[in-house]
Amino acid sequence: SGVPWLSDVYEVIFGLAGYTRNGLFFAPLFLLLGARLRGREASGKGEAAGLGAALALVLCEALILRRLGWQRHDSMYVFLPAVMYFLFSLLLAPRGEAPGWLSPFSMLVYVLHPWVIVLMRGAARQLGLWGLLVENSLGHYLAVCAGSAAAAAVLLLIWARLRPARPSDTARAWVEVDSAALRHNAENLRALLPVGCELMPVLKCEAYGHGLVKTARLMSSMGIRAFAVACAAEGVELRRAGIRGEILILGWTAPESFPCLSRYRLTQTVTEPAYARQLSAYGKNIDVHIKIDTGMHRLGIDPEDIASVEEVFTLPHLRVRGMYTHLCVSDALDEASRAFTEAQRRRFFALAEELCRRGYCVGKLHTQSSYGLLNYPDARCSYARVGIALYGVRSSRGDDAARWPGLEPALSLKARVEQVRSVKAGEGLGYGLAYTAPRKSRIAVLPIGYGDGFPRAAEGACALINGSRAPVVGRVCMDQLFVDVTDCGEVRPGDTVTLIGPGLPCEELAEACGTISNEILSRLGKRLPKVWL
| Four-way CATH pick for 411-532: 2.40.37.10, 2.40.160.10, 3.30.930.10, 3.20.20.70 | 2.40.37.10
Return the pLDDT at 70.
Answer: 65
250-256 average pLDDT score: 96
> For residues 178 and 201, what is the distance between their CA atoms, to the nearest angstrom?
17
Count CB atoms within 10 A of the CB of residue 416. 18
d(CA 250, CA 322): 12
Query: Residue 520: which of 399, 404, 412, 374 has the closest Cα?
Result: 412
* pLDDT tens-digit map of 402-431: 788 889 999 999 999 999 999 999 999 999
Please say if the pLDDT value at position 127 is more than 50: yes
> Where do the structural domains in the chain lie, given as residue ranges?
4-92, 102-162, 174-391, 411-532
Q: Is 239 annotated as a binding residue?
A: no
What's the rounded Cα separation, in Å, for the pair 229 and 249?
5
Strand partners, 531: 176
Q: Where are the beta strands (DSSP E) in 309-379?
A: 318-324, 364-366
Question: Residue 418, by phi and psi: left (phi above 0), alpha (psi -120 to 50) or beta?
Answer: alpha
Each residue's pLDDT tens digit, 193-245:
988 999 999 999 999 999 999 999 999 999 999 999 999 999 999 999 989 99
Residue 328 confidence class, pLDDT cut points 50, 70, 90: very high
Report angle CA 516, 295, 209 to the nearest 5 degrees: 25
Q: For the beta carbon of residue 170, count every other beta carbon within 10 angstroms.
A: 14
DSSP one-letter code for 292: B
Q: What pLDDT digit, counting tens, does each position of 76-90 carry?
A: 577 888 888 888 888
Residues 315-333 have a mean pLDDT of 94
Rounded to 5 degrees, φ, ψ at 377 are: -70, -10
Confidence of residue 74 (pLDDT cuts 50, 70, 90): low
Q: Round to whole Å and give the CA distance between 495 and 492.
A: 6
- Residue 268's H or E segment, with its range, is strand 267-270
Helix H, strand E, coil C: the string for 127-180 is HCCHHHHHHCHHHHHHHHHHHHHHHHHHHHHHHHHHCCCCCCCCCCEEEEECHH
Residues 6+ apart with CB under 8 A from 203: 212, 215, 216, 227, 228, 229, 234, 238
Alpha-carbon span 123 to 150, nearest angstrom: 16
7 pLDDT more than 80: no
**pLDDT value, residue 22:** 44
What's the whole-number mean pLDDT along residues 385-409? 89
Angle at 244 between CA 43 and CA 219, to 5 degrees: 75
Decide if 497 contacts 408 (C-beta within 8 A). Answer: no
If you write DSSP's letter for every residue of 66-104 in order, what string do you get? HHHT--STT---TTHHHHHHHHHHHHHS---PPPTTHHH
> Average per-residue pLDDT in the chain?
88
pLDDT of 23 over the 50 cut: no
Same topology, domains 174-391 and 411-532? Answer is no
What is the per-residue pLDDT for 2? 56
Q: Is the CB of residue 287 less than 8 Å from the CB of residue 265?
A: yes
Contact 247, 267 (CB under 8 A): yes
Q: Which amino acid is at 211?
A: G
Rounded Cα–Cα distance for residues 357 and 360 (Å): 7
Closest alpha carbon to 454 in 229, 213, 209: 209
Compute φ and ψ for 463, nearest 5 degrees: -125, 165
Confidence bin at 314 (pLDDT 50/70/90): very high
Residue 107 among known ligand-binding residues: no
Over residues 92-126, the pLDDT tens digits come to 776 655 677 777 888 888 888 888 888 888 888 88
pLDDT tens digits, residue range 31-55?
Answer: 777 777 765 666 667 788 888 998 8
What average pLDDT score do residues 290-318 get? 96
Choose, from 141, 284, 431, 440, the residue flagged as catalytic.
Answer: 431
Percent of the chain with pLDDT over 70: 91
Whether 431 is catalytic is: yes
pLDDT above 50 for 503: yes
The arithmetic mean of pLDDT across residues 262-272, rounded, is: 96
**pLDDT band for position 13 (50/70/90)?**
low
Decide if 496 contacts 510 (C-beta within 8 A): no
d(CA 375, CA 173): 36
- CA distances 451 to 392, 525, 526, Å, are 25, 8, 10
Please give the pLDDT value at position 98. Answer: 64
* Dihedral angle computed from the Cα positions of residues 277, 279, 285 and 290, in that order, rounded to the nearest 10 degrees: -80
Which pLDDT does position 166 carry in this prediction?
73
> Active site includes 414?
no
Phi, psi of 291 (to 5 degrees): -90, 130
The pLDDT of residue 218? 95
Least confident of 135-139, 359-363, 443-447: 135-139
Q: Is the pLDDT of residue 433 over 60?
A: yes
DSSP secondary-structure letter at 183? H
Q: Which of 77, 85, 204, 391 is catalytic?
A: 204
Is the pLDDT score of 75 beyond 70?
no
Q: For domain 174-391, give its CATH number from 3.90.78.10, 3.30.379.10, 3.40.640.10, 3.20.20.10.
A: 3.20.20.10
Q: What Å distances lie between residue 363 and 232, 288, 381, 469, CA to CA?
A: 22, 10, 11, 51
d(CA 54, CA 56): 5
Predicted pLDDT at 21: 43
Determine the number of helices (DSSP H) and then strands (DSSP E) in the chain. Answer: 18, 21
